[in-house]
Structure 1
Amino acid sequence: MMRSGVAELPLHTGKVPPWLANRMRKLSKLVLKILVEEYGTKGLLERLADPVWFQAFNNLIGMDWDSSGSTTVTTGIIKEALAELDLGVMVAGGKGKSSRNTPNELEKIASKFELDPEPYVKTSRLVAKVDSVALQTGYQLYHHAFFLDEEGNWAVVQQGMNTELRLARRYHWFNEKPDVEELLNPHKGVAGVKREFALNTVDKDSKEVQKAIIEIAQEGRRVVRDLETIKALSKGYAVFYKPRDVDVREVVKRYESLGKIELNLKALEFAKELAIENYKEFLLIKGLGPGTLRALALVGELIYDVKPSWRDPVTHPIDPFKFAYAVGGKDRVPFRIEKGTYDELIRFLERLTETGNREILKRVKKISEKWKFPEEEKIPTF
């Protein structure tokens, strides 16, 4: 199992014009069909879970390389295309209200593929909780798409928004089975803009932190008093307890930079009543949001000296100029889309799928592997 990566994208507004959206659907259907014929449904999911490949596909159909809309539009186009094609892989969820309909759609898809929907619905919820609660970098999830094939392989593409930074961060997941055991050590390679710090309770060495957070959550009213003590210290009031060699104000400021520090007492009551000991089950508690986890982690750090990881899991930045544009970009960068060129590409791929001749694609692949984007043509769209 792996979580393949993360991509950072500026927030863009605007819509895809109908003439372009129609061509995107046609081209996507052809490319997806060829991919499944060549690599199977698992191969398609592995590629969708690769942030670089996903961005390249996004550029292929004419979307911007650096737009938050590249996630929502591209995922929506793929969802529509797979719904029309009978390739053995479908998509649940999407942007906003569609993301909240993921469980219902997953049940229908799993039923169609004769799979038990329960583990996939649970996985969908847990993946969303990991990237919004267990790992916090100041982004609020608003897009969640779950890809499932008839063999039980799955992938997730979800995106969070940071309105202050005007950036979106996209998260990619992949697994060959509906097993959630490895979901708490998800990072294999992460691409994006590295932040100074991130509250990371799923870092590779976070077992002690996870255990402490669960235990603190089950202390009931005591955790409320501990949090009040910390807030008093951060405001300069004298209290009976003071952590040694710690600048309380700076620590609290770091947590507050990610959002409000607040406790959902009902969620803590659930944790205590259920006697939860497993961090995965803990994250799935109804009402456990980012603010509550921040509060619990803060109490753990300042009262019990159990410090979470503050490592942003980004390992390398994405270079947008790795991507070639076949038909141009929606915002005319790096060049405007020519309808005639787009239509010719669609006709070419249609003929290719009809004849079944893939040799020409292999030749193009050899040529493109050594191609580099000309430095003088590197122009961002913002």
Structure 2
Amino acid sequence: MRRGIAELPLHGGHVPPWLAARMKRLARLVLILLVDEYGTKGVLERLADPVWFQALNNLIGMDWDSSGSTTVTTGILKEILSKEEFGIKAAGGKGAKSRETPAQLRDICEKYELNSSEYVRISRLVAKVDTVALQTGYQLYHHVFFIDEEGNWAIVQQGMNPKIKLARRYHWFDAESFTLEPHKGISGIKLEYALNTVDKNAREYQRTLLDLVKEDPRKLERELRTITAVAKGYKPLIVYKPYEKLNLFDTVTRYKSLGQIELNQRALELARELDIKNYDELLLLKGLGPSTLRALSLVLELVYDVHPSWRDPVTHPPDPFKFAYAVGGKDRVPFPIDKPTYDELISFLEKLVEKNPQERQIVKAVTKITRNWKPPEEDKVPT
């Protein structure tokens, strides 16, 4: 699985009707060919690859560096999959539509004879991971769940950071673990630090955190108040050893940069009553939000000397010149949409879909010739 990142500024605007109609026709043809070549699971694997997903987005005419590349592309795919039977369906969407995911998943699972409660749980847990367990200042506002008739799944969701006006896209695929380096890829700008409690080395942190939530919430509240007071310059009656190792003020400031630090005592009391067994269950607990996890992590770090990871899991950005623009970009970047070329491409693919398998093999042989082709350096123009 290739991993990569893309800078995704928050863009407004909309796709004009003449372009949207072409995008749907082209995306439908691509889906037909993909399912025929790779099967439904192969399609989901590709949607979970941030580089492949971005390439598909560029192919249909969306921009290379737009937050809308996620919402438009997934929206078009969902509409196509709802109208025709490819063996794949999609639930969710942007904003209010994302909250419709559970109901839509139940309908899909009934059609495919799958256990809907399992997939609704996965949807909730994945959303919780990217809002609570991994905190980078991005607010989740888009969540699309793709599922095939065999039960394979992929999720593409996106968060926004209004302060720096950037978006970040999270890709998931048939995760075996949801709480230890679970993503297939994260597209976004790599930050100096991020509260990452699902790092591959987070086992000790998660184990100690589960022990911590068994404590009396009132005791945790007192410890949190002590830490806050010491950070302001007050001298504590009891000096914890970790205070000697860390710059306490800088540590508290780092946590506060991600938002408020508050304990939801009702949620913690519920965790004790339910006797939470693992980190998945804790994240799914009603009332356990980002501020409570920040507070618990701060207590763990400064009182118990157990630290979360501060590594931002975004990987290195790919070379933008690896992305080809077959028909142009919606916002005229890197060049305006070429309608004649777009229509010719659709016509060619329509004829290809109608051909028998033997004739398609000839086209595949031609694609092998161009697989390693690289554009001349003089043709590389920054977008």
Contact 1:6 1:171 in 2 (8 A): no
Change (3 A) 1:187 1:143: closer
For residue 371 of structure 1, the aligned residue among 351, 368, 374 is 374
- Tell me how far apart the structure 1 counterparts of residues 2 and 252 of structure 2 sit (CA, whole Å): 30
Contact 2:63 2:333 in 1 (8 A): yes
- Tell me how far apart the structure 2 counterparts of residues 116 and 49 of structure 1 sit (CA, whole Å): 22
Contact 1:5 1:172 in 2 (8 A): no
Residue of structure 1 equivalent to 2:178: 183
Residue of structure 2 equivalent to 1:346: 346
Shift of residue 7, structure 1, vs aligned partner: 4.6
State the one-letter code of the partner of 1:147: F
> TM-score, with normalisation over the residues of structure 2?
0.93
- Tell me how far apart the structure 2 counterparts of residues 324 and 102 of structure 1 sit (CA, whole Å): 33
For residues 318-342 of structure 1, give each alpha carbon's deviation from its aligned partner in whole angstroms, at most 9, with x where no partner exists. Answer: 3222110110000111110022211
RMSD of the alignment, in Å?
A: 1.8
For residue 190 of structure 2, the aligned residue among 194, 198, 211 is 194
Change (3 A) 1:279 1:6: farther
Residue of structure 1 equivalent to 2:68: 69
Residue 276, structure 1, aligned to residue 276, structure 2: yes
Number of aligned pairs? Answer: 375
Contact 2:329 2:335 in 1 (8 A): yes
Q: Secondary structure at the match of 2:291?
A: helix
Superposed, 1:1-382 pairs within 5 Å as 7-175=6-174, 182-185=177-180, 186-187=182-183, 190=186, 192-219=188-215, 220-242=217-239, 243-356=243-356, 357-358=359-360, 359-372=362-375, 374=377, 377-380=380-383
State the one-letter code of the partner of 1:209: Y
Give unpaired runs (5+ residues) of structure 1: none
Change (3 A) 1:252 1:372: farther
Shift of residue 211, structure 1, vs aligned partner: 1.8
Shift of residue 214, structure 1, vs aligned partner: 2.1
Higher mean C-alpha deviation, range 72-81 or range 214-223: 214-223
- Tell me how far apart the structure 2 counterparts of residues 3 and 148 of structure 1 sit (CA, whole Å): 21
Shift of residue 165, structure 1, vs aligned partner: 1.3
State the one-letter code of the partner of 1:367: T
Change (3 A) 1:82 1:375: farther
- Tell me how far apart the structure 1 counterparts of residues 36 and 144 of structure 2 sit (CA, whole Å): 23
Contact 2:172 2:185 in 1 (8 A): no
State the identity as a percent.
62
- Tell me how far apart the structure 1 counterparts of residues 308 and 339 of structure 2 sit (CA, whole Å): 52
For residues 116-159 of structure 1, give each alpha carbon's deviation from its aligned partner in whole angstroms, at most 9, with x where no partner exists. Answer: 11111111111111111111111111000000000110000000
- Tell me how far apart the structure 2 counterparts of residues 311 and 21 of structure 1 sit (CA, whole Å): 39
- Tell me how far apart the structure 2 counterparts of residues 369 and 30 of structure 1 sit (CA, whole Å): 24
Higher mean C-alpha deviation, range 153-162 or range 185-194: 185-194
Higher mean C-alpha deviation, range 52-61 or range 4-13: 4-13
Change (3 A) 1:284 1:362: farther
For residues 236-275 of structure 1, give each alpha carbon's deviation from its aligned partner in whole angstroms, at most 9, with x where no partner exists. Answer: 1222234223211100111111111122222111111101
Change (3 A) 1:213 1:41: same
- Tell me how far apart the structure 1 counterparts of residues 168 and 7 of structure 2 sit (CA, whole Å): 4
State the one-letter code of the partner of 1:230: I
Q: Secondary structure at the match of 1:27?
A: helix
- Tell me how far apart the structure 1 counterparts of residues 7 and 271 of structure 2 sit (CA, whole Å): 34
- Tell me how far apart the structure 2 counterparts of residues 138 and 189 of structure 1 sit (CA, whole Å): 18
